[in-house]
Chains A and B, each alone.
Chain A
Amino acid sequence: MKLTGAEIFVECLKREGVKTIFGLPGGVVLKIFDVLHQQKDIEVILTRHEAGAGHMAEGYAKATGKPGVALVTSGPGMTNVVTPLVDAYMDSVPIVVFTGQVPTHLIGNDAFQEADNVGISRPCTKYNFLVKDVNDMGQIVKEAFYIATTGRPGPVLVDIPKDVAMNKGEFRYPDRVYIRGYNPTYEGNKWQIKQAVEAIQKARKPIIYVGGGAIFSNAQAELLEFAELTQIPVDMTLMALGAFPGSHALSLGMMGMHGSYASNMAVHFSDLVIAVGARFDDRVTGKVSEFCPEAKVIHIDIDPTSIRKNVHVDIPIVGDVKTVLQELNAMLKATPNGHSIEQRKPWWNQINDWKAKHPLTYVQPPDAMIKPQYVIDRIYQFTKDKDPIVSTDVGQHQMWAAQHFVLNKPHRWLTSGGLGTMGFGMPAALGAQAAFRDKLVLCIAGDGSFQMNMQEMATAVVNKLPVKVFVLNNHFHGMVRQWQDLFYEGRYASSYLDTVPDFVKLAEAFNAVGLRAKKVEEVDGVIKEALKTDKPVIVDIEVDPYENCYPMIPAGGCNHEMILEDPPEMKRGEKPVPKVAGEDKDAVLTA
């Protein structure tokens, strides 16, 4: 029996086990939406903007470990999804984005809502396809999911012209895929792993540096075993939070630009860095020529291009993190290593000194403005037993959340790392909530970031996705303001956001719940209230607008040269005068 391209497409998605699609229709994808409308297996979540659809697919993928799917129309539909594609590419998130395209005979004619979808997305996807013939649909959809989820995961785009969706063809869906130019290496080289074991045995000051690869590889058990076996301290990147239990005694927390003092000191003074599914991003290495100057580097990664891209690697191991760690653990267990634990006593003494000297902390005076760190700490205290999924936007609040919200399980932390996409947080939270309807999903946002995709509150309300959004409202692009204080003599160029919108009224306009805290003693109350309701909530929390995020390694600085508090030479700028006289005007002026 012959089916239309759209019917074949939907059937393929069902075979792939797709349960949820995030999307927005338009002229050339109407046929596909029409077919989706007439079936029950796949839920379609209508977003208010295609960027929202893309980020929801990312949130879905990060929370479930399965590919997220978005479906958008041609032209502007596709261009709006470019940011999520780049974001997913940078953070290796498996998403498959289907875009509509003008009919094949119009391609290249500058037709209405035509864009070169494949050309535009080429540098921001792992791979992309144009379906030219309805009979290729099954093969291409299968390959798209295969490429997105295997090897180093990443986004894949499939462009479907209108006539291909309308034409009839045979349904064919291959069981397996063979692509001759694509054979990711999963098994690590045994000889290299043996070298790694020897280096670990010898190391006196080793450190494990975990990246996001450990999460997508589901290597948490192997990682825990490895760290406990060797008693080596664990540093995590922003992307890796949750890959190793943050409350474990071996965890030093997050490393990098705003990482903990102990974690950055440890990596700088180590004699062996064991990088696990990480890519030595500049926000982690700081000044790359002085990154861990005395250390040998073992680098386990599935992507050979990550190895020796930024730093010299002594023992490269190309392979899947989980598989390689299993092998490594087996070899370590076969070698007696009690001695090497003993020889690391001084190293641990040193680390414990660092931990004690500058722990991650904050001071919340009872009568002062609310400190953002305090809010995150309180949210954490109220929700830690509920195993929440936490998404963030990008900026100061993201770093404070990374520092103060302790995560013990993987796939609980949704954040935009590589690209640093403001506006990521709320749609990503919705994606996770769509995957886990019964779970508590929190979004920690800033007032700047939240405004970049706040239209998706409508998606939350309509689709009954009860995410709890906490807006740490400082009326600034806070991280920009911090850099202006530190490096631009306090000239607040285009970083002050004034006093609008009123987030409580905004929530009410969306038929969601809006709450506000302006004083320290109100914080607990609004958190409790937010957790009680089963509707989406925006909690507007007026925080100290001049709080800076520390520790901080200035861009291009060395990892052991952290700024730990406002430096004496720092020049605060003049307090901006709100142009809109809102009821929150005083908040900024009295800070």
Chain B
Amino acid sequence: MEHIISVLVENKFGVLSRVANLFSGRGYNIESLSVAPTLDPSMSMMTIVTRGDDKIIEQIVKQLNKLIDIIKVVDLNETEFVERETALIKIHTRQEDRAEALRIADIFRGKVVDSTPTTYTIEVTGDVRKVEACIDLLQPLGIKELVRTGRVAIAREPVRQAAAQPRRVLKEEK
């Protein structure tokens, strides 16, 4: 099963390599990974999308916690969360396709961020299904280049206390 793991790390050199080493050394798979500093510039937040059964995910979370540069690990699948990904899609457009390209972009609330007589570059943001659906529809027109940010995710803040699921902070688990 797919899991999105949010990992708060020290913002210093070598940390990404430690995380990547952990996954490759133990044969775990990273489907996507995104990193950027948090409000506190001494820390970065990584969002890792990975796959595995419960036993593997438990090991991934524990192994991540064991790394000394990692401050906090949260398996977002334990709670409600919002995820987003952005794709920049450069499509090759013939004259007769240009209107169709814009229509598709519009359906997915995409924006044209660059335009030439023969290409459009469309920015689309959404959950992974939306981004992939947009890519699928644009594909017949001819995708020249495609870049995706990988997913970022954040836990939903509970609306009512009673309905709220306690978020498991695995670092402190005994």
State whether B17 touches A119 (Cβ < 8 A): yes
Is A303 interfacial (CB-CB < 8 Å)? yes
Whether A304 touches B68, Cβ cut-off 8 Å, given contacts A122-B14, A122-B21, A189-B174, is: no
State whether B70 touches A181 (Cβ < 8 A): yes
Whether A308 touches B14, Cβ cut-off 8 Å, given contacts A147-B68, A185-B174, A303-B66, is: no
State whether B59 touches A305 (Cβ < 8 A): yes
Whether A304 touches B66, Cβ cut-off 8 Å, given contacts A123-B21, A123-B25, A181-B71, is: yes
State whether B174 touches A318 (Cβ < 8 A): yes
Is A309 interfacial (CB-CB < 8 Å)? yes
Hey, what's the 0/1 contact readout for A493-513 against B, CB within 8 Å counting as 1?
A: 000000000000000000000
Hey, what's the 0/1 contact readout for B53-82 against A, CB within 8 Å counting as 1?
A: 001001100110111111100000000000
Is B3 interfacial (CB-CB < 8 Å)? no
User: What A residues does B67 contact at CB under 8 A?
Assistant: 181
User: What B residues does A189 contact at CB under 8 A?
Assistant: 174
Q: Which of A181-200 contact B (CB under 8 A)?
A: 181-182, 185, 188-189, 192
Hey, what's the 0/1 contact readout for B135-174 against A, CB within 8 Å counting as 1?
A: 0000000000000000000000000000000000000011
Set B21, B65, B69: member contacting A304, Cβ < 8 A = B65
State whether B18 touches A122 (Cβ < 8 A): yes
User: What A residues does B123 contact at CB under 8 A?
Assistant: none
Hey, what's the 0/1 contact readout for A317-338 against B, CB within 8 Å counting as 1?
A: 0110000000000000000000
Is A2 interfacial (CB-CB < 8 Å)? no
User: What B residues does A179 contact at CB under 8 A?
Assistant: 68
User: What A residues does B10 contact at CB under 8 A?
Assistant: 181
With both beta carbons as reference points, the residue of chain B lying nearest to A126 in the complex is identified as B68
User: What B residues does A122 contact at CB under 8 A?
Assistant: 14, 17-18, 21
Set A118, A303, A304, A308: member contacting B55, Cβ < 8 A = A308
B contacts with A, residue count (CB < 8 A): 21
Set A118, A180, A185: member contacting B14, Cβ < 8 A = A118
* Complex Cα gap A362–B130 (Å): 72
Hey, what's the 0/1 contact readout for A116-136 against B, CB within 8 Å counting as 1?
A: 001100110011000000000
User: What B residues does A318 contact at CB under 8 A?
Assistant: 174
Q: Which of A113-163 contact B (CB under 8 A)?
A: 118-119, 122-123, 126-127, 147
User: What A residues does B17 contact at CB under 8 A?
Assistant: 119, 122
* Complex Cα gap A188–B174 (Å): 8
User: What A residues does B70 contact at CB under 8 A?
Assistant: 181
State whether A182 touches B59 (Cβ < 8 A): no
With both beta carbons as reference points, the residue of chain A lying nearest to B64 in the complex is identified as A305
User: What A residues does B18 contact at CB under 8 A?
Assistant: 122
* Complex Cα gap A399–B69 (Å): 39
* Complex Cα gap A185–B25 (Å): 25
Set B9, B21, B25, B62: member contacting A305, Cβ < 8 A = B62
Interface SS of A by simple majority: loop
* Complex Cα gap A122–B17 (Å): 9
State whether A309 touches B59 (Cβ < 8 A): yes
* Complex Cα gap A289–B18 (Å): 31
* Complex Cα gap A308–B61 (Å): 12
User: What B residues does A127 contact at CB under 8 A?
Assistant: 68
State whether A305 touches B66 (Cβ < 8 A): yes
Whether A181 touches B68, Cβ cut-off 8 Å, given contacts A122-B21, A305-B62, A309-B59, is: yes
User: What B residues does A307 contact at CB under 8 A?
Assistant: 62
User: What A residues does B66 contact at CB under 8 A?
Assistant: 303-305
Q: Tell me the smallest distance from the CB of B112 to a CB of chain A, in Å.
A: 41
User: What B residues does A188 contact at CB under 8 A?
Assistant: 174
Most interface-central of A119, A180, A189, A192 (chain B CB within 10 A): A180
* Complex Cα gap A182–B66 (Å): 8
* Complex Cα gap A192–B174 (Å): 10
* Complex Cα gap A568–B62 (Å): 47
Q: Tell me the smallest distance from the CB of A146 to a CB of chain B, in Å.
A: 10
State whether A305 touches B14 (Cβ < 8 A): no
State whether A308 touches B68 (Cβ < 8 A): no
Most interface-central of A122, A185, A303 (chain B CB within 10 A): A122
State whether A308 touches B58 (Cβ < 8 A): yes
User: What B residues does A181 contact at CB under 8 A?
Assistant: 9-10, 67-71
With both beta carbons as reference points, the residue of chain B lying nearest to A304 in the complex is identified as B62
With both beta carbons as reference points, the residue of chain B lying nearest to A317 in the complex is identified as B174
Q: Tell me the smallest distance from the CB of B164 to a CB of chain A, in Å.
A: 24
User: What B residues does A305 contact at CB under 8 A?
Assistant: 59, 62-63, 66
Hey, what's the 0/1 contact readout for A405-426 against B, CB within 8 Å counting as 1?
A: 0000000000000000000000
Q: Tell me the smallest distance from the CB of A484 to a CB of chain B, in Å.
A: 30
With both beta carbons as reference points, the residue of chain B lying nearest to A306 in the complex is identified as B62
Q: Tell me the smallest distance from the CB of B8 to a CB of chain A, in Å.
A: 9
* Complex Cα gap A263–B20 (Å): 40
* Complex Cα gap A127–B17 (Å): 13
Q: Which of A81-118 contact B (CB under 8 A)?
A: 118
With both beta carbons as reference points, the residue of chain B lying nearest to A119 in the complex is identified as B17
Q: Which of A274-298 contact B (CB under 8 A)?
A: none
Q: Tell me the smallest distance from the CB of A297 to a CB of chain B, in Å.
A: 15
Most interface-central of B18, B58, B62, B67 (chain A CB within 10 A): B62
* Complex Cα gap A309–B65 (Å): 14
Q: Which of A394-443 contact B (CB under 8 A)?
A: none
Q: Tell me the smallest distance from the CB of B22 to a CB of chain A, in Å.
A: 9
State whether B71 touches A180 (Cβ < 8 A): yes
A-B contact pairs, 13 of them (CB 8 A): A118-B14, A119-B17, A123-B25, A126-B68, A127-B68, A180-B71, A181-B9, A188-B174, A304-B62, A304-B65, A305-B59, A305-B62, A318-B174
Chain A residues in contact with chain B, CB under 8 A? 118-119, 122-123, 126-127, 147, 179-182, 185, 188-189, 192, 303-305, 307-309, 318-319
| Given A126-B68, A305-B59, A309-B59; 10 other pairs, CB 8 A cutoff | A122-B14, A122-B17, A181-B9, A181-B71, A192-B174, A303-B66, A304-B173, A305-B62, A305-B66, A308-B58
User: What are the 8 tightest A-B residue pairs by CB atom distance, in nearest-first order?
Assistant: A305-B62, A189-B174, A181-B71, A182-B68, A304-B62, A127-B68, A181-B70, A123-B21
